[in-house]
Structure 1
């Protein structure tokens, strides 16, 4: 190489090195400038300050377990959204307004994100704090949420709060939470709306399928209060199995001295002779049961019937009895004299040697038909879809989903058995797409009910089983679900969700933000169906008194569904007497509001929100209900200007479900929700086939159509929701002609509703 060429090459390399050095110095300087702009003063502000627990929430216990400071938890930072008032106005005034030229003209998720996403500079500031102050690792980002993993030591320090371990006394589930308050830097208070995984405890509600009946819990309450003496020897009925003109019972035999027994071969030291059951308002039953005629007695932990074992387990927990305590299960009791849907008054006594007997125990139960999809399809005038497709046949583009939380799983074998039982093609089970964990060896009653009945009534559509187990410390499965729904690659048009909490147990910021997510869902054409709750107008955890609304059912942007039950007492005339003496028989079977007072295992939820105001689509409905029917309720019992719920109702009593290979009857608004979701799904499919948009946020449409086409709903006019799952309140919201906060506008008449919606589109 010539000297001149060598010189030019060396000069070029030197200039390049100088440029690189200058670039690096500039980057460092810029980083220092950025870091300086993100300096935090050290001043902290309390977050969700109104949402701190003065004591451990009911049902939960502190484990006092030592948690190492390097133990990892998950925290979800909800960033404040922009322009949500504009999007809400657009949804109400245009997208969901049947009178608008933009009716069901949905936005894309990109359009919504562009409109509502937080300011990028503010998001950067939060990311910087997470990385450099919290020492957290960002594991997931979605529209307006940042999910991080962080050591509990760093979380305690940075959020200035105390995390500890808690365990639910009934379910055994453990979570790491803080009782609050928790804090954020003052500079981030306008950036972060709340932090998930801090103060909210999951709703660890027990499934009703194996819980003892409410009469059992009444008995326990009377024992605790001293109304029944501790030495009382009246038998304890752990579970009544009320079927179609037949019944059976699970009983805890009590010895003469008030004690219980742990020796099934010599109950009460051999003095137990059997159980006598008699009906006091009919001659149908008068029987003494012993081992010789079918009474099966065994220690609870060795009980041959797995469902009975679940009930006695929970009875033992409530009564502080050992696992070896003896229970007895009767055979089926049937008689042509037994009638469905009318009160059956029963008295139980335990027999002892020498002809002695216990103090009697009395209760009232109701027999009734078990429900199958075909029964509801016929009653609600729904199409009897079969859902079977030949191989390679096109599948409808319609999509539906159920959401399950806190280790609620389903077994595909149970789903196939359910389809075989009700006469559907078991290959329909192949249509299920599972998102998240699903332990098929541990199916849950809630999940099995949801997936079996949504597919049983609307088979053949691609169905998503959305599972959020919430097993990682700090996770909030409900929060994770709604963010996943809005960021899924494919829009799922109809979601059925059986989940809820008291409004009073949640922070205002949390509910407002979740409500914003529902607004976004409606704006892209998604219908979210929520069960209205199973404790009537009461709380999941607070004593009876004022009404306690439930969220998310109280959100104006979900379709809240209450539960009904079959009855012959469907009009007020059935409860009066001619000339003050003569009963007026009512033999026609219809529907009433579901309640433990009339034989259901749950009471359908309903009431008025304390957080969300009355939406305009309800104005003419709830104002009339309040002025005409609620004037006798005490002041302060409910919020007269709140959003009322449910919107509609559907049957929720005696649904047959397959659980771990066993056939069980299940009650709940969690049965009504997938029933109503199937109605929406089928109408959506018919709209899609015509090239039209799905129903999306459907509430304004349903209320408008109900006013002009009252035949689309069967009005429910009997019953109320004053009771919970155990006790009854003095007040509640009655079912009346027209809209009410017990059954909404009524239950759907599919053919009329379908015609009204699709005619309205033409």
Structure 2
């Protein structure tokens, strides 16, 4: 009996000492294209690990989002509160407890954890050596062969098998995405095309006249003429606001903004811009640190929306950067950093524009879907989110459209069209580009079909109609016809007159299209709020139904890339210009219809 008792005690001890389950790979990626491994990461380097817990009731949040965004539904416009959204995405208590216990087992107390408002994200800052131990992996330094960016990453990591149901993913680990402002092109005012002087001649459109100077230079006045907003007077009395996001140490210069107002919006001179810094964001007003991208976004979006107050968020800690192996970048997840901040706020601008993104395939799918779910939370709270579609046609954003190889990075090296993210997220409104008067699709306007997100139901009719008209077999195997299609809409994207470092210049890109469209949306929100109606919130279900009649259909142009001519603009929706460009007058009538 004594021997048996001793055996049982020993067995119990072994059971207590044994792990609950062995490690199992949670995420793995192929060696990323254009990255080379430099060597082992420094063990003492501190890395911020962000742990994503499953959002227990996201399906219900999505259902709410579609109901309150559908103009045919009785709940249209009944947006959710901050607390209601957080309750729907909060992780299950079992997951919270399991993650807390797992971290405690590795000597990481609750006091060292930072949590998102809904507690669906946990962030811990730990040395690489500890991260390697808890993730059963090895971190290395990686350098991008084109830009020499250096990051600290791994190509796979593992978790105890019993933790897989409680942790969706951990980043930055396998993320080799490099968020970029879309490929804007800037030219100084010495270019003769900058002239905004009119000779008095106009171009006749169905809804009015557009000055011929708008064929060479786009100003606020041109956008009003092109998009039928001449004469509309916005108000500052009803709480309408607009927001712009900035990453990669892009600063909006306040002096340049005043010069822009003097040039194009005199009544806005001396108005203020609220700048909010997130996660080490910067707001340097030094001439050498001004960002043309940030100036573009702020000048045109805030200029159109005036007198609505404008906010510029500068989010830091995001980019891989030129560094050596001892000072790597260890974070490039700006969307979640920004989302953590804005979702914690009680009051948000009703309209927000972002002009940044990357190739969808460079973003781990789990991360892309989680960031997209964050955008859905904002939509449920009544925020309209615009993202530029990108500037590479149907190709990747790292090379000239005429020379793109467009290979997949899943180990197969298959030629495919390369969709953009976050443009491919179904919970945002993606904006492509046009140019000239009358408008045609600009060749760089990115568009296509997601490989991560399935087509949302609000797109079914429009996209199926487009695919039905596409000649059979066109680009077969190069795109996913069942994927979320983009862009949704478009706006001018060439020859925008901005001020940069005290001088006027011209800038191109869908980075211009997104704030241009956002400015129109802000005016629509102004109109609704002035009539006692709620803001528009998530736009797409409205745009693809009643809203389709409020767009100028763009039927000429294409978006080449990957050695092809890309897709063509055509009657109805197309993956170059979406539904078309906005007609503010018609859209205002639609959003103010009496039966709403």
- Hey, what's the Cα distance between the residues in 2 that align with 1:466 and 1:627? 42
SS in 2 for 1:500: strand
1:591 lines up with 2:439 in the alignment: yes
Cα offsets for 1:615-642 (capped at 9, x unmatched): 2211221111111134251321211222
Task: Please give the residue correspondences for 1:667-678 in structure 2 after superposition, counting only pairs within 5 Å.
Answer: 667-678=508-519
- 2:498 — aligned with what? 657
User: TM (normalized to structure 2)?
Assistant: 0.83
| More contact order relative to length (CA 8 Å, sep ≥ 6) | 2
Cα offsets for 1:242-262 (capped at 9, x unmatched): 65299xxxxxxxxxxxxxxxx
1:531 lines up with 2:388 in the alignment: yes
1:80 lines up with 2:82 in the alignment: no
Q: Is the 8 A contact 1:74 1:475 kept in 2?
A: no
Q: 2:445 aligns with which of 604, 609, 615?
A: 604
Q: Is the 8 A contact 1:428 1:459 kept in 2?
A: no
Cα offsets for 1:263-290 (capped at 9, x unmatched): xxxxxxxxxxxxxxxxxxxxxxxxxxxx
Cα offsets for 1:29-73 (capped at 9, x unmatched): xxxxxxx99984361122233xx1314x42x55555x75422211
1:722 lines up with 2:560 in the alignment: yes
Q: Is the 8 A contact 2:350 2:383 kept in 1?
A: yes
- Hey, what's the Cα distance between the residues in 1 that align with 2:71 and 2:132? 50
- 1:410 — aligned with what? 252
- Hey, what's the Cα distance between the residues in 2 that align with 1:167 and 1:487? 35
Cα offsets for 1:426-446 (capped at 9, x unmatched): 545413232332222211121
**How far off its partner does 1:687 sit?**
1.3
- 1:138 — aligned with what? 113
- 2:322 — aligned with what? none
SS in 1 for 2:544: helix
1:48 lines up with 2:52 in the alignment: no
Larger mean CA deviation between 673-682 and 728-737 belongs to: 728-737
Q: 1:161 aligns with which of 127, 137, 147?
A: 137
**How far off its partner does 1:140 sit?**
4.0
Q: Is the 8 A contact 1:650 1:672 kept in 2?
A: yes
**How far off its partner does 1:457 sit?**
1.1
Larger mean CA deviation between 480-489 and 420-429 belongs to: 420-429
- 1:424 — aligned with what? 266
1:492 lines up with 2:349 in the alignment: yes
SS in 2 for 1:513: helix
**How far off its partner does 1:679 sit?**
1.1
Q: Is the 8 A contact 1:48 1:509 kept in 2?
A: no
- 2:163 — aligned with what? 188
- 1:713 — aligned with what? 551
Task: Please give the residue correspondences for 1:88-487 in structure 2 after superposition, counting only pairs within 5 Å.
Answer: 88-92=62-66, 94-133=67-106, 135=108, 137-143=112-118, 144-168=120-144, 173-178=149-154, 180-203=155-178, 205=180, 208=183, 243-244=192-193, 369-383=216-230, 396-425=238-267, 427=269, 429-436=271-278, 437=281, 438-441=283-286, 442-470=289-317, 473-487=330-344
Q: Is the 8 A contact 1:374 1:384 kept in 2?
A: no
Task: Identify unmatched segments of 5+ residues in structure 1.
Answer: 1-35, 213-238, 247-335, 341-366, 567-588, 596-602
SS in 2 for 1:519: helix
- 1:735 — aligned with what? 569
**How far off its partner does 1:483 sit?**
2.5
**How far off its partner does 1:240 sit?**
13
Cα offsets for 1:280-301 (capped at 9, x unmatched): xxxxxxxxxxxxxxxxxxxxxx
- Hey, what's the Cα distance between the residues in 1 that align with 2:359 and 2:17? 38
- Hey, what's the Cα distance between the residues in 1 that align with 2:52 and 2:479? 30
- Hey, what's the Cα distance between the residues in 1 that align with 2:157 and 2:388? 31
**How far off its partner does 1:382 sit?**
1.5
- 1:509 — aligned with what? 366
**How far off its partner does 1:385 sit?**
6.8
SS in 2 for 1:759: coil
- 2:530 — aligned with what? 689
- Hey, what's the Cα distance between the residues in 1 that align with 2:257 and 2:169? 39
- Hey, what's the Cα distance between the residues in 2 that align with 1:104 and 1:206? 32
SS in 2 for 1:409: coil
- Hey, what's the Cα distance between the residues in 1 that align with 2:184 and 2:457? 38
- Hey, what's the Cα distance between the residues in 2 that align with 1:590 and 1:631? 30
SS in 1 for 2:592: helix
- Hey, what's the Cα distance between the residues in 2 that align with 1:160 and 1:617? 43
- Hey, what's the Cα distance between the residues in 2 that align with 1:679 and 1:37? 63
**How far off its partner does 1:590 sit?**
0.7
- For the structure 1 residues 635 and 649, does the alpha-carbon distance in structure 2 shift closer, same or farther, using more than 3 Å as the test? same
Cα offsets for 1:116-155 (capped at 9, x unmatched): 2101232122123234416473134332111211111111
User: TM (normalized to structure 1)?
Assistant: 0.66
CA RMSD, Structure 1 to Structure 2 (Å): 2.9
- Hey, what's the Cα distance between the residues in 2 that align with 1:241 and 1:734? 34
